[in-house]
């Protein structure tokens, strides 16, 4: 049995910065409310004509990750692409990346696990490497949220939170044999699927049906979120799945060198940090700059933490996410 390790990381965010004050010109909100409830100061939005899309941003992040792994596109054996905002309803973003990066006819798998997407995608990639089937797997998390949010006052509790961006990691067979990904743990609880969802357009909520059911209103294919309900479940599941991962490896919270939580809300991260009694040096947050970028948030944060020299060889790095589904998971890495 092989093990896998992260050999390259990269991220890309659009240049267009959207501050809380910018949003307050579109809807009834304000900087104080957004910062107090979420910690977010600004986020990036794709600008019409800037050439970005979910797949294009994914390719930009992936190109950097490959360079840093000293690999070329032909070295990649599989793509795992996590997003809730693909460029097309079908096919998914993975095949677009395969084409844009000029890769061989390798498999391209799309993962649809929203905020847990990157953790799920890493777990999938890890299994393929562990069994010896593939040597190098490209994992991407990318989101174009701004194209699909309601920027009127009606949508304010959701639209102020989310931002656009992409992150990527190359997972390679761990030739050195030491460390790498120690474990991944994944969960779901579909009974809460309606608490954070975008219901249509889909086969269950096709456009004519949406229009027929809402004749007086704008067509509601915007995401809905029961914020407090999500918050309460997130803090429980985050802690559980981190403990589960640590216990599986006979490790304790005190062994964590760097915890990268999915950037859902700064208050959620701070709650978990407090609960686990982690110091500020043991946790990395960047939601202040980017908002919640869903599947992209962990790889963007992981890349920034690594670039800042906060992750060193031998460190114990913990990734954890929770999101729509509900789904959640953790990854324990010996760097
Ligand atoms: C969304 C969230 C920030 C809302 O904070 P909250 O404290 O629960 O706020 P509430 O939804 O109770 O709303 C409080 C008030 O603020 C208002 N409000 C909502 N969004 C607002 C905004 N952007 N600006 C100003 N006021 C807003 C509400 O209308 C409500 O007004 P009311 O009291 O007059 O009815 C919070 O619930 C949260 O972060 N939840 C987790 C979300 C999450 O992490 N999602 C991603 C999961 S991966």
Q: pLDDT band at 215, cuts 50/70/90?
A: confident
* 277: alpha, beta or left? (left if phi > 0; alpha if psi -120 to 50): left
Ligand 1 in contact with 297 (CB < 6 A)?
Answer: no
Q: What ligand 1 atom has the least distance to the C-alpha of 265?
A: 44
40: helix, strand or coil: coil
Tens digit of pLDDT for each residue in 94-123? 999 999 999 999 999 999 999 999 999 999
Chain-centroid distance of CA 132 in Å reads 26
Ligand 1 in contact with 107 (CB < 6 A)?
Answer: no
In the set 144, 262, 265, 286, the catalytic residue is: 262
Angle 285-116-238 (CA atoms, 0-180°, nearest 5)? 65
Active-site annotation holds for 262: yes
Q: What ligand 1 atom has the least distance to the C-alpha of 230?
A: 41
pLDDT at 199 over 90: no
> How far lies 68's CA from each of 56, 61, 79, 111, 119, in Å?
19, 11, 17, 24, 21
pLDDT at 178: 80
Ligand 1 in contact with 310 (CB < 6 A)?
Answer: no
pLDDT at 13: 98
pLDDT at 200 over 90: no
Among 25, 34, 37, 323, the mutation site with the greatest number of ligand 1 atoms within 8 A of its Cβ is 37
Neighbours of 240 (CB within 10 A): 16
Using omega within 30 degrees of 0 as the cis cutoff, is the peptide bond preceding 201 cis? yes
Domains of the chain: 3-178 (3.40.47.10), 181-334 (3.40.47.10)
Q: Region 227-241: what's the mean pLDDT?
A: 97
Tens digit of pLDDT for each residue in 143-197? 999 999 999 999 999 999 999 999 999 999 998 778 899 999 999 999 999 999 9
pLDDT at 278 over 70: yes
Q: Region 243-270: what's the mean pLDDT?
A: 97
Ligand 1 atom 13, closest CA: 157
Q: pLDDT band at 209, cuts 50/70/90?
A: confident
Tens digit of pLDDT for each residue in 57-100? 999 999 999 999 999 999 999 999 999 999 999 999 999 999 99
Q: pLDDT band at 204, cuts 50/70/90?
A: confident
d(C-alpha 182, C-alpha 126), whole Å? 10
Active-site annotation holds for 292: yes
d(C-alpha 208, C-alpha 231), whole Å? 33
**Closest Cα partner for 265 from 39, 12, 2, 1?**
39
Letter string b/e over residues 95-104, b meaning 16 or more CB atoms within 10 A of that residue's CB: bbbbebbebe
Per-chain mean pLDDT for the chain: 95
**Closest Cα partner for 109 from 84, 131, 80?**
80
Ligand 1 atom 19, closest CA: 157
d(C-alpha 134, C-alpha 171), whole Å? 10
pLDDT at 217: 67
The owner of tokens 């700064």 is 266
**In what helix (H) or strand (E) does residue 59 lie, and over which residues does it extend?**
helix 54-68
The owner of tokens 């229009």 is 211
**In what helix (H) or strand (E) does residue 159 lie, and over which residues does it extend?**
helix 156-159
């Amino acid at each position: 049995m092989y093990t896998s390790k992260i050999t390259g990381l990269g991220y890309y965010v659009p240049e267009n910065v959207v501050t809380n004050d910018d949003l307050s010109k579109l809807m009834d909100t304000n900087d104080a409310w957004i910062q107090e409830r979420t910690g977010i100061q600004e986020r990036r939005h794709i600008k019409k004509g800037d050439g970005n899309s979910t797949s294009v941003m994914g390719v930009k992040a992936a190109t950097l990750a490959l360079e840093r792994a000293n690999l070329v596109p032909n070295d990649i054996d599989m793509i795992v692409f996590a997003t809730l905002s693909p460029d097309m309803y079908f096919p998914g973003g993975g095949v677009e990346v395969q084409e844009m990066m000029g890769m061989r006819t390798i498999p391209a798998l799309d993962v649809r696990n929203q905020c847990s997407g990157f953790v799920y995608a890493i777990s999938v990639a890890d299994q393929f490497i562990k069994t010896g089937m593939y040597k190098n797997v490209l994992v991407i998390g990318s989101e174009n949220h701004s194209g699909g949010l309601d920027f009127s006052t009606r949508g304010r509790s959701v639209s102020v939170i989310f931002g656009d961006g992409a992150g990527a990691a190359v997972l390679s067979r761990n030739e050195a044999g030491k460390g790498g990904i120690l474990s991944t743990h994944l969960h779901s609880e579909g009974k809460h699927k309606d608490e954070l969802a975008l219901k249509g357009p889909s086969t269950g909520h096709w456009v004519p049906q949406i229009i027929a059911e809402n004749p007086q209103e704008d067509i509601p294919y915007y995401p809905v979120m029961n914020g407090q309900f999500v918050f309460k479940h997130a803090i429980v599941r985050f802690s559980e799945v981190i403990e589960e991962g640590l216990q599986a490896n006979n490790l304790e919270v005190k062994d964590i060198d760097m915890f990268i939580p999915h950037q859902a809300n700064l208050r959620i991260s701070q709650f978990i940090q407090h609960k686990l009694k982690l110091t500020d040096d043991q946790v990395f947050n960047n939601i202040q700059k980017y908002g919640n970028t869903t599947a992209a948030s962990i790889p963007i944060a992981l890349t920034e933490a690594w670039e800042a020299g906060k992750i060193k060889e031998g460190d114990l790095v913990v990734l954890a996410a929770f999101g729509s589904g509900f789904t959640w998971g953790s990854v324990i890495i010996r760097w």
